Amino acid sequence: MKKIICILLLLSIFTTALISCKGVTVIEDQTETETETEAVTSEITEKSTADTNVETEPVDDGIDHSFDWQYDYDFDYDNGSVPGDYIFNDAMASGYTMLLKRNVHTGECTTVCTDPFCEHNSAACPFYNTYFVMGIGNTMYGIMHDDNNAKNILYSYNVETEKKEIIYETSASFTGYLQYKYYIYYRDSVKGIMRLDTETNETVSIKSQLGSTLHSASWGLLMWVRKNDDASLVFTATDLMGDDPRPYNPYIYEGKLHGISRTEGSTYSSVVELTRAGEIEKVLLEKTYDSIIVGDSMLYYGVTDEGPYKHDIYIAPIETFEARFLCHIEEAEPKSIGFSTNNLLLSGDWMAFVTKPNYPLTEDKIGIFSDMILVNMKTGEYHISRYIE
């Protein structure tokens, strides 16, 4: 018995020696070559390394990552405006609405109605009681109210052919107008949010976002906004039919933010570029009153040192945020200027600034913001468009 035990011990020692000298591993009575042994060792090493690099819980870095999808989203930065020769607007004069068209090439302001004897204040005028207009190319689209039939009418009017066409009429009310390329969005009080395709004159229903209001249309998206109980705003972006909703932050563009920083006690604000954590990274303009995003750029309305009625306008592409001087506007008379709302006063590369005149308002003068400054956002060319003298 002792001899048997001694023999087994000698065999064990001999086998261990062979393993040490020849690099052979015994696994369940099978032998492997030295190359196979290295592969197994490599696999064990990789597994060991992976075990030490186990993914940890994300660290709160103070940045809202729910909007990260925007950094990879291929925005269509087109401003959504169809080029034309006019910018249309409606304004009140002596208690009634007058429709105006302004030639972007000359600044000339004329009435949409071409009848030289029409006073535009009765049903004899084909555009009487129109309370909203927008332009797509050289065609104006208007909403007018028919007092006799208690109906609201959506119509088109082509300036070149002088052809007026009724598209849709209903006893429902219309609100919340937006335009993007050849589409017009509006809210029908009965049917909900609708979209008119101005190339086919077809209307379709748009899927609404629960509890949200349609806020704007740009970059191939619809932006919706909902107000929380604490008055904070929540934005959602969808495609142009209201589908594929995603969280949307209106202040994030290509990984950057922009904002207005007002110094206490100052009448001016600064336009600043912010990091995603909300810290000021760069001051774009030190003296400004306002900024607006149009298409692929932000426009800033600044004030020169020469006086409060001599204005500088700057433009900054969203992708670079490098502000450049666009044009200097100098008025003979003191005026205050401002941006239009909802980017409706656009025609291709031309946009309109609305101005408030300093002259007294009388019955023969149109109401506030009667004049406009038409600016080409590419070239900086501008025209001062006066209300009809």
Per-residue pLDDT at 276: 63
The DSSP secondary structure of 144-160, one letter per residue, reads: EEETTTTEEEEEEEETT
* Cβ atoms of residues 321 and 282 within 8 Å: yes
Q: Over 80: is that where the pLDDT of 345 sits?
A: yes
| Whole-number average pLDDT of the chain | 75
**Amino acid type, 123:** A
Residues in the chain, total:
389
> Are the C-beta atoms of 388 and 109 separated by less than 8 Å?
yes
Both tokens assigned to 225: 């906004």
Q: With bands split at pLDDT 50, 70 and 90, how would you rate the model's confidence at 206?
A: very high
pLDDT digits (tens, 9 = 90+) for 58-99: 555 665 565 555 545 556 677 889 999 999 988 776 677 889
Single-letter amino acid code for the residue at 179: Q
- Examine the pLDDT at 323 and tell me if it is beyond 90: no
Q: What is the spatial distance between Cα 237 and Cα 229, in angstroms, rounded to a whole number?
A: 21
Compare 237 and 259 and report the one with higher pLDDT. 237
Residue 60 to residue 315: CA distance in whole angstroms: 35
| Cβ pair 324, 312 in contact under 8 A | no
- Three-class SS state of 6: helix
Whether the pLDDT of residue 322 is over 70: the answer is: yes
* C-beta separation of 21 from 34 below 8 A: no
Helix (H, G, I), strand (E, B) or coil at 48: helix
What's the pLDDT score for residue 199? 95
Side by side, the strands of the sheet bearing 109-111 are: 86-93, 96-103, 109-111
- Sorting pLDDT into bands at 50, 70 and 90, what band is 105? very high
- Can you give the pLDDT at residue 59? 53
pLDDT at 196: 95
pLDDT of residue 71: 47
Mean of the pLDDT values across residues 220-234? 86
* Residue 378 near residue 79, CB atoms below 8 Å: no
Split at pLDDT 50, 70, 90, the class of 134 is very high
Query: Which residue bears the tokens 């290295």?
Result: 38
Write out pLDDT tens, residues 135-162.
Answer: 999 999 999 998 888 899 999 999 999 9
| Exposed/middle/buried for residue 312 (C-beta within 10 Å: 0-12, 13-18, 19+) | buried
d(CA 33, CA 276): 56
Whether the per-residue pLDDT at 46 is higher than 60: the answer is: no
Tokens of residue 208, six digits: 């609404």
In the chain the domains, ranked by start, together with CATH numbers, are 68-249+331-385 (2.130.10)
Burial 226-247 (b: 16+ CB within 10 A, else e): eeeeeeeeebbbbeeebeebee
- Residue identified by tokens 């709302």 is 341
CA–CA separation, 63 and 195 (whole Å): 36
Q: What angle do CA 101, 176, 219 make, to 5 degrees?
A: 80
Can you tell me whether residue 212 is helix, strand or coil? coil
Q: Range with the lowest mean pLDDT among 3-17, 95-109, 156-170, 356-370?
A: 3-17
Judged by DSSP in three states, 306 sits in coil
